[in-house]
A and B are shown apart, each in its own frame.
Chain A
Amino acid sequence: MEVDVAPLSIVLADAAGNLYPARMQMAISLGWHIVFSCLGVAFPAMVMFAEWRGHRTGDAALHELAHTWAKAMGVLFAAGAVSGTLLTFEMGILWPGLMNTYGEIFGFPFVLEGFSFFIEAIFVGIYLFGWSRLSPRAHILCAVPMVLAGMAGTFFVVAANAWMNNPVGFDVAPDGTLTNVNPIAGMFAPSMPPQVAHMWIAAFMVTGFGIASVYAVGLLRARRDGGHRRGEHRDRYLRMGMLIPLTVAAVFTPIQIGVGDWIANTVAELQPAKLAAMEAQYETRAGAPLSLGGIYYDDELHYSLEVPYGLSLLIHHDPSGVVPGLEEVPEEDQPPVNVVHLAYNTMVGAGSALLLLALVYGFAMWKRRHWIENVWFLRAVAVSGILAVAALETGWVTTEVGRQPWIVYGHLRTAEAVSPAPGLFLGFYAVAVIYVVLTVFTVYVLRRLASHHDVAAPYEGSDADAGRAEERSGAR
């Protein structure tokens, strides 16, 4: 059979040119969405708690918190939903090589995720607009399917990601097509359990520290204003706004460190190249040190801090354990080391700082209640939200970039999966601009909500009535 190479080479040239912008477009879209999906999973649980406690105790501050949080949740959920929609398109538009061959197994968890998202969207609507249509009890209960559907959705999406790391549930025929496809088995890749646990807890940490930091800033401002405008109600409102989410985050943080250890061991076993890149280690050696920071070039890590035997201890819980290095991996199969190493270090650093904060908070609640009013404690809480988001993003960069150059580990290279469509790179610029604009407006709206949370939106004529009615009916 005669093969015409000329059009093929054009296609390949396009695909090569599309790879970088497509990866960046995906990175922006996912990096943005991941924050809002975390909030979508964990925030409803906290709103439900505030509403339930407020209802039980008649505490006006909790009542007000529940209402303000519900409004913020509406904004955050919309932002998460629309950014998730773009991702649904992008999966196919940018990575048709993945969909074309592996869609029948990789897509399956997304079908289940579709159902989860459906249930979540229905109950978000009912929760946000049902204050005056449901009994308080029924209204509180409506948050339960929201939380469960959010956690189920996380499970399905992360299961798909775990499959990309350790693809299972199929065989490859000699002609490259898949045989013995089992989509259920595909959802249970060996790295799925620790990845799902890590992500669930991350959702509660990001939401907990994130919301707490907003109220820590509020408390610091109130303190700066010298106490005027700061009635007892306002004070309690801000304090509860900080303490509820902070408690949730502080409880989960130590667990997350343990799960982190679990996940590192899974990676060491199943994706040694990723682990070697995380640690920027070239040589396979026993008694490997744990390296912090530095820059990797000429097959060596320079200017780093080394903890002797640290890595062997971490992976094998034995100082003389052997850790494979990048030298074991052919050069064309190595991930970009510096990005992975520094992202991983940043995640561990941010996570450790959050652990310290969690421990201090726990000790304060136990023995030194007055520490919570301390300005330095409040400042630490105020930056904890940023740290949690930083840990989330860098952790995600570690796992995604650490899998490169594969999109389906060991089976399909990212460069083979990218669409060769001409002009595809324009999408990257458009997405970059859109997300900058969207971020600015989201922050603006949330800030307005925080500062004007008791003001109902006027309806350019008549909405004020409806808005206030909703408010009042809830406050009854």
Chain B
Amino acid sequence: MTTGVSLAEVLLGVMFIGLIAYALFGGADFGAGIWDLLAGGTRRGARHRTLIEHSIAPVWEANHVWLIFVLVVLWTAFSTGFAAVVTTLYMPLTLAAFGMIARGAAFAFRKSISSLPMRRFFGACFAASSLATPFFLGTVVGAVASSRVPPGIATGNVVTSWLNPTSILGGVLAVLVCAYLAAVFLCLDARREGYDDLADQFRTRALGTAATTGVVGLVGIFVLRADAPLLFEGLIGRALPVIVVSVLAGIASIVLLIVRRYGIARITSSVAVATILVGWAVAQYPYLLLPYLTIEEAAGARTTLVAMTVVLVLGSLVLVPALVWMFVLFSRPPRADSAEAVEASGARSSIV
């Protein structure tokens, strides 16, 4: 291909949009679970947990499907790359899948149970797995980014490929980013529901997490320079403008949080996180598995790529309106004549 973008790159780009969507929406759901974990005792944390449950209950399952989408696109369009990644990294991926099982099941179960001990137990499962799952997924990114996944089936070291400085950095950053996004998202949700004091508490958490993420990011520069030189080279080279955008968006978010402009802070925070992922992709380009396997080498049969492109276009025509409707529906207050609206205002006055 001499001109422009190849079909394989288009598909990988679409997959990457899915990955960013998962990082933002799925990530915020994970982060909400982390704040559920850190909300304190049963009584003290009750209001935080209520807000968290209200925010994520209707949407978490749809947000979670982004991951399935990423996996099936990878395995169909880039089968050899997918096989290499999942076999070498089967341990963190299996652990992440277990985390998703514990998290999803416990969250759904908790909603359906009224006995306090069981609710505490399911709540603890939900919250602990919300912390563990993004960590394991982050180690997977770290493994690929630090050239520890060679092509072929299970040819990498199944232990050190994901237990190494870059993977640990990836895991920690993933957890922090999830927590940060959730805190920012919950600021707006809390204000919408009329709980300004809760919004202030999540604002403090967002600012604290942002500062921590910044520090870890600075330390990460040295980790990557020593442990993932190829990626580092790309990050300070071709990907530098993207990283600069990420840092600027991060700084803007902090300012917006300080002045309590939660709506715009959501957007700038999302940009800051998305550009971290984009920066990784740009730094790796044109490799799927740095530095062994390029995107073109990993791509499957052309007929499959064409069929997938058609499917992705047609599918998104159905999917995107449905997703938008779902988010709009749940960001609006319930019907004014519904009992929930009446109850909610009553509940508000009783607990605020």
Instruction: Out of B53, B114, B339, name the residue touching A452 (CB < 8 Å).
Output: B114
Which parts of A51-102 form the interface with B (CB within 8 Å)?
71, 74-75, 77-79, 81-86, 88-93, 96-97, 99-102
For B351, the chain A residues whose CB sits under 8 A away are: 461-462
For B50, the chain A residues whose CB sits under 8 A away are: 459-463, 466
For B104, the chain A residues whose CB sits under 8 A away are: 78, 81-82, 85
Q: How far, in angstroms, from A351 to B340 measured CA to CA in the complex?
A: 46
B111 near A125: Cβ-Cβ < 8 Å:
no
Instruction: Out of B97, B110, B301, name the residue touching A85 (CB < 8 Å).
Output: B97
Secondary structure dominating the interface of B: helix
A-B contact count (CB 8 A): 291
Secondary structure dominating the interface of A: helix
Instruction: Out of A91, A119, A183, A438, name the residue touching B319 (CB < 8 Å).
Output: A119
- Give B47-66 as 1s and 0s: 1 = Cβ < 8 Å from A's Cβ atoms: 10110011001111110110
B113 near A460: Cβ-Cβ < 8 Å:
no
Q: A105 within 8 Å of B by Cβ? A: yes
Q: B229 within 8 Å of A by Cβ? A: no
Of all chain B residues, which has the CB nearest A118? B65
Q: How far, in angstroms, from A99 to B80 measured CA to CA in the complex?
A: 7
In this complex, the interface size class of chain B, counting residues with CB under 8 Å from chain A, is 35 or more
Q: A181 within 8 Å of B by Cβ? A: yes
A86 near B101: Cβ-Cβ < 8 Å:
yes
A465 near B343: Cβ-Cβ < 8 Å:
yes
A107 near B75: Cβ-Cβ < 8 Å:
yes
Instruction: Out of A89, A111, A121, A424, name the residue touching B65 (CB < 8 Å).
Output: A121
Instruction: Out of B59, B319, B340, name the residue touching A125 (CB < 8 Å).
Output: B59
B153 near A462: Cβ-Cβ < 8 Å:
no
A455 near B114: Cβ-Cβ < 8 Å:
yes
Which parts of A407-446 form the interface with B (CB within 8 Å)?
419-424, 427, 430, 434, 438, 441-442, 445
A417 to chain B, nearest CB (A): 10
Q: Which of B207-215, B250-258, B270-278, B302-310 faces chain A?
A: B302-310
Q: How far, in angstroms, from A448 to B42 measured CA to CA in the complex?
A: 22
Q: A284 within 8 Å of B by Cβ? A: no
For A290, the chain B residues whose CB sits under 8 A away are: none
Q: B10 within 8 Å of A by Cβ? A: no
B341 near A132: Cβ-Cβ < 8 Å:
yes
Of all chain B residues, which has the CB nearest A181? B301
Q: A468 within 8 Å of B by Cβ? A: yes
B83 near A96: Cβ-Cβ < 8 Å:
yes
For A178, the chain B residues whose CB sits under 8 A away are: 301
- Give B325-348 as 1s and 0s: 1 = Cβ < 8 Å from A's Cβ atoms: 110011010110011111110110
For A118, the chain B residues whose CB sits under 8 A away are: 62, 65, 68-69, 319, 322-323
B82 near A129: Cβ-Cβ < 8 Å:
no
A119 near B318: Cβ-Cβ < 8 Å:
yes
Instruction: Out of B91, B113, B318, B338, name the residue touching A473 (CB < 8 Å).
Output: B338
Of A71, A74, A133, most buried by chain B (CB within 10 Å of CB) is A133
Q: A206 within 8 Å of B by Cβ? A: no
Q: B300 within 8 Å of A by Cβ? A: yes
- Sampled A-B contacts (24; CB under 8 Å): A74-B112, A78-B108, A81-B104, A85-B64, A85-B67, A102-B79, A103-B79, A103-B83, A108-B304, A115-B319, A118-B319, A125-B60, A129-B330, A132-B335, A132-B339, A183-B76, A183-B304, A419-B154, A421-B90, A458-B114, A460-B49, A460-B116, A465-B343, A466-B50
